[in-house]
Structure 1
Amino acid sequence: MNENLFIGSESLSALATLLGRPAVSQVFVLLDTNTARQCLPLLERQLPGGYTPIEIPAGEEYKTLATCEAVWNALTQARADRHAVLVNVGGGVVTDLGGFCAALYKRGIPFVQVPTTLLAQVDASVGGKTGVDFLGFKNQIGVFQEPLAVCIEPRFLQTLDPRQLKAGYAEVVKHWLIADAAAFAHNRTIGILVDDWTPLIRESVALKQRIVAQDPLERGPRKLLNFGHTIGHALESYLLTQPGREILHGEAVAAGMICEAWLSHHKGQLTDQELDQVETFLFSIFDKVQFVTLETEAIADFARQDKKNAGNVINCTLLEGIGQGVYDQPVTLEDIAAALRYYHRL
């Protein structure tokens, strides 16, 4: 678990200190087209003179090996050595892809995550997961690699539109549903009306760190963090193949949590009241993801590639009550299709 994790106003000054160390030979800053325009001005004075920006297109569709090749080419052309540091400034796409590029370049160079979306601040940038999508499947290629540091500056959230902010909130809710019933009970009366995100970010990151510390390589309890993701990833991946119907990762996870809460109820692990609480809360924040009933089997089929699977068994994380996740729960493609049909009818 990374000890160099900074949250709040001191995070960017901590970044400047890290990058100013004599051992750092060069500094590269990976940005997408959005963060280059909206976030770099806030960050720039913390960067050493002579840093090299690397800009990639914004969007999940660019989270590919082709984009990695462009990053590696830029590093190579600039003669980056193994003492160079790659600073990844962006949401989950940039932090996942940038960490992956750094982990493989010259068998590994240090990288720093500077997450700029709520989703990346509470989830994607923490825990050492890196990777890219492949053949339409989410995060199919990747490695576990801890960053040199994670610097979380909540002021970056002011650059987000409401849809992006809500998408990140889905991962916060996920943490409550798998491990913090009291937080869910408290916050479902408040919703997303948050004035200061810093305490919520600290709590959410601390919860994730506790789980990751037990199981860094996701062979056991860390699988709890995948609640909502087996069906969510399948839905997100399917809609990425449908031009004009793409949804944000957090929107897919919110839908996946409703589906997987229903599966938990279907298997007798969640009460009627608990299922209703999950559904009511999530629908109070997120719009319903649109698909037609005839698409449910095609969507479910994407779950065959879920990384938690063992052989032909689809392993899902479900709930044994609000605040109590349980991992390695076998489900069938028909179970997933039935959950999607349930969601469609709501």
Structure 2
Amino acid sequence: METIIFSSNIAQDLQRYLSTKKYSKLGLIMDSQTINHCYPILSDDLPAHSMYAFEAGEKHKNLDSCQGIWQWMTETNLDRKSLIVNIGGGVAGDMGGFCASTYKRGIRFVNIPTTLLSQVDASVGGKLGIDFNGFKNHIGIFNQPEGVLISDEFLQTLPEAELRSGYAEVIKHGLIRNENYFQSLKAENWQNQKWKDIISVSVGIKREVVDKDPKEEGLRKILNFGHTIGHAIESHYLDTPYHLLHGEAIAIGMLTEAFLSHKFLRMPQADLESIEQKLLAIYGKISIADADFDAIIKRCFQDKKNDGESLNFSLLKKIGTCDFNIVVGREAVIEALEYYNSLDD
């Protein structure tokens, strides 16, 4: 199990943490935005290090970027006693951890998530990987970081759209595990939050689930509520002018999968309406062309929860209670997408 440190002074806490570690060389991996906005918060207190920055954005979470990272590791002469610190959002943690875990059959790494999304989601659970041929997180492994340092200081560096994207995963945690938490989350003035408290609760929910099922053989699948359709939509529009941030796509996924929850698990109509109200107030809606339905459904079939030709969903029995391995047919997914298009934003 990784060590998670909730920090009030990230520069000092990272310096203190590294002073307790033995390593031959220290390497930092971050993206082109993090190096400008977040690295300066840490740089004065860091010991000697090398660093590598890749192009920011989900579309760069691929094998080409990994090759660049592995080449840098090789040219820097990092050995198996080296330590990597991944600084940034989910892409940095996923890809940096994946590269560290596969370089020389694995070197240690630490994650410093700097976005709300990575702090409440990717920071916990040891899922590492990259996108491949347009499929989200298609290549990867499970491997835990040695430590995760989380600080809400970094949230001040985020554009509002990125903060809102991360908030979708916060909402999901309430939906799958804690009704009171969901009801407490703001829709109006959602930007005005006690972020430190929210991060702590969300990390606690995810960690409790992951500790019970580290390799996603059962219970951990509930963390994918909203992600079967959401990931498919995110991937489908990734290289188009309609590009959606992860949380924006997951909000669509949660709305469509809430509809499926009502249809298949008889989640109360009042719960469906409550979910609609909160998500639409924060994320609004887009229009998904009927012509895109087939391509989106084909991407759903690449979801890692599926067995053979079945689409396996994680769906809500009610707000706060989620079940998994619910088989849903193609026509029902079309019905869910039509339902989403019918909503008033």
TM-score by length of 2: 0.96
AA aligned to 2:31 is D
Q: Does 1:337 align with 2:308?
A: no
Once the two structures are superposed, residues 60-81 of structure 1 have per-residue CA deviations (whole angstroms, 9 ceiling, x without a partner) of: 1000011001000000001000
The question of whether the paired residues in 2 share the 8 Å contact of 1:191 and 1:285 is answered with no
Distance 1:188 1:37, change over 3 A: closer
How far apart, CA to CA, are the structure 2 residues paired with 1:21 and 1:323?
40
How far apart, CA to CA, are the structure 1 residues paired with 2:283 and 2:148?
28
Once the two structures are superposed, residues 72-107 of structure 1 have per-residue CA deviations (whole angstroms, 9 ceiling, x without a partner) of: 000000100011111111111111101100110111
The question of whether the paired residues in 1 share the 8 Å contact of 2:134 and 2:235 is answered with yes
AA aligned to 1:68 is C
1:224 alignment partner in structure 2: 222
The question of whether the paired residues in 2 share the 8 Å contact of 1:83 and 1:109 is answered with yes
AA aligned to 1:234 is A
AA aligned to 1:342 is Y
How far apart, CA to CA, are the structure 2 residues paired with 1:334 and 1:116?
40
2:158 paired residue among 119, 135, 160 = 160
* Unpaired segments ≥5 residues, structure 1: none
Q: Does 1:269 align with 2:266?
A: yes
Identity %: 43
The question of whether the paired residues in 1 share the 8 Å contact of 2:305 and 2:313 is answered with yes
1:34 alignment partner in structure 2: 33
The question of whether the paired residues in 2 share the 8 Å contact of 1:86 and 1:110 is answered with yes
The question of whether the paired residues in 1 share the 8 Å contact of 2:265 and 2:316 is answered with no
1:255 alignment partner in structure 2: 252
AA aligned to 1:277 is S
How far apart, CA to CA, are the structure 2 residues paired with 1:289 and 1:7?
36
C-alpha RMSD over aligned residues: 1.4
1:233 paired residue among 224, 231, 246 = 231
The question of whether the paired residues in 1 share the 8 Å contact of 2:52 and 2:69 is answered with yes
Using the TM superposition, give the Cα deviation of residue 126 of structure 1 relative to its aligned residue in structure 2, in angstroms. Answer: 1.2
Distance 1:22 1:343, change over 3 A: closer
- Greater CA deviation, 285-294 or 6-15? 6-15
TM-score by length of 1: 0.96
Using the TM superposition, give the Cα deviation of residue 164 of structure 1 relative to its aligned residue in structure 2, in angstroms. Answer: 0.4
Using the TM superposition, give the Cα deviation of residue 127 of structure 1 relative to its aligned residue in structure 2, in angstroms. Answer: 0.9
Using the TM superposition, give the Cα deviation of residue 221 of structure 1 relative to its aligned residue in structure 2, in angstroms. Answer: 0.5
Using the TM superposition, give the Cα deviation of residue 21 of structure 1 relative to its aligned residue in structure 2, in angstroms. Answer: 4.0
Once the two structures are superposed, residues 189-221 of structure 1 have per-residue CA deviations (whole angstroms, 9 ceiling, x without a partner) of: 666143431011001001100000000000010
The size of the alignment, in residue pairs, is 343
The question of whether the paired residues in 2 share the 8 Å contact of 1:214 and 1:221 is answered with yes
Instruction: Indicate the SS of the match to 1:305.
Output: coil
* Unpaired segments ≥5 residues, structure 2: none
2:324 paired residue among 318, 323, 327 = 327
Once the two structures are superposed, residues 195-249 of structure 1 have per-residue CA deviations (whole angstroms, 9 ceiling, x without a partner) of: 43101100100110000000000001000100000000010111114x2221111
Instruction: Indicate the SS of the match to 2:301.
Output: helix
How far apart, CA to CA, are the structure 2 residues paired with 1:36 and 1:312?
43
How far apart, CA to CA, are the structure 2 residues paired with 1:111 and 1:253?
28
Using the TM superposition, give the Cα deviation of residue 177 of structure 1 relative to its aligned residue in structure 2, in angstroms. Answer: 0.1
Q: How does 1:182-197 map to 2 (within 5 A)?
A: 182-188=180-186, 192-197=190-195
